Amino acid sequence: IKWIPRELVFANFTTAIQELSYWKALFKSVIVALVPSVINTVVGALCAYGFSRFRFPGKKILFAIMLVTFIIPKQLINIPQYTWYYRLDIVGSLFTYILPATFGQGLYSTIYILVLYSMFNLIPIQLEESAKMDGASTLTIFVKVALPLVIPGIITVFLFSFVWYWNDAATAALYLAQPGKDYWATLPVMLERYQNTIFSITHGGVGAVLYQGIRMAGTLLSILPLLIIYFSLQRYFVESVERTGIAGE
């Protein structure tokens, strides 16, 4: 066994790129993760600001319902949700991700609302009262006063959402990769398909070891964009964690 190779061989990466249709799958993965993540962030910020700054009937009840929706396992609602999407004829389209995110029920939306809620609570109310005395509307205060002060939290929420949508192969396989409706098949889905193909060919035997290098190369290629995004936004992520005390996975 040689722990340090004498030369670098990129054959496994080349094969993985071909088998996964990497560049097409990469583009689709970016779109699938980016669009609902942006919506999640915007809707989460609006909900968090509303809970933080306004008093209205049923506020505590709505907040409790929001927490309960997070406790319910998503696997419990997959079948009725899929049935609903099938009737709407949107299975295989991005609307299966866009609709829940638009109504504050995207992937782990509750966490994003709680993170931003805690950050909005740290903003002195006097800043908003001063802006209101100057004639600023509620929307202007939200956009020009509150949001700039929670930019690290906004970026952190977006980063969490993007990573979780990117890695959620189960949901993508259910809603975006059904037979005949798999145009938006993401990288994790393609990687899982490749692994299943190898397993069916080798029947899980010793022959599967021969493809281990390709699988590992495909896994690295799949998480590489996430690493680039994380290191690019690391400064904001650390600042947000220091403010809220919430650590990521």
What are the backbone angles phi and psi of residue 178, rounded to the nearest 5°? -75, 150
| C-alpha to C-alpha distance for 126 and 141, rounded to whole angstroms | 12
End-to-end distance of the chain based on CA atoms, in angstroms?
34
Question: What is the CATH classification number for the domain harbouring 98?
Answer: 1.10.3720.10
| C-alpha to C-alpha distance for 46 and 3, rounded to whole angstroms | 52
pLDDT at 238: 64
Residue 44 is assigned to a structural domain of this protein: yes
* Token couple for 208: 């599967």
Cβ neighbourhood burial of 193 (10 Å; 0-12, 13-18, 19+): middle
pLDDT at 87: 92
Ordered per-residue pLDDT tens for the chain, 249 residues? 567 777 777 888 898 999 888 999 999 999 999 999 999 999 999 999 999 988 888 889 999 988 888 888 888 888 888 999 999 989 888 999 999 999 988 888 899 999 999 999 988 888 888 888 888 888 999 998 899 888 888 988 999 899 999 998 888 888 888 777 778 888 999 988 888 888 777 766 666 667 788 888 999 999 999 998 888 877 766 665 555 544 444
| C-alpha to C-alpha distance for 249 and 247, rounded to whole angstroms | 7
* Token couple for 78: 């997959």
pLDDT at 247: 44
- Contact call for residues 114 and 245 (beta carbons, < 8 A): no
Residue 6 is assigned to a structural domain of this protein: no
Residue 174 is assigned to a structural domain of this protein: yes
Residue 3 is assigned to a structural domain of this protein: no
Residue 116 is assigned to a structural domain of this protein: yes
Q: Quickly count: other Cβ atoms within 10 Å of residue 145's Cβ.
A: 16
Residue 4 is assigned to a structural domain of this protein: no
Residue 138 is assigned to a structural domain of this protein: yes
Q: CA 77 from chain center: how many Å?
A: 19
* Token couple for 226: 């996430």
Buried b (16+ CB within 10 A) or exposed e, 30-43: eebbeebbebbbeb
| C-alpha to C-alpha distance for 40 and 50, rounded to whole angstroms | 15
Residue 176 is assigned to a structural domain of this protein: yes
**Domain count along the chain:** 1
For 223, the domain range is 11-244
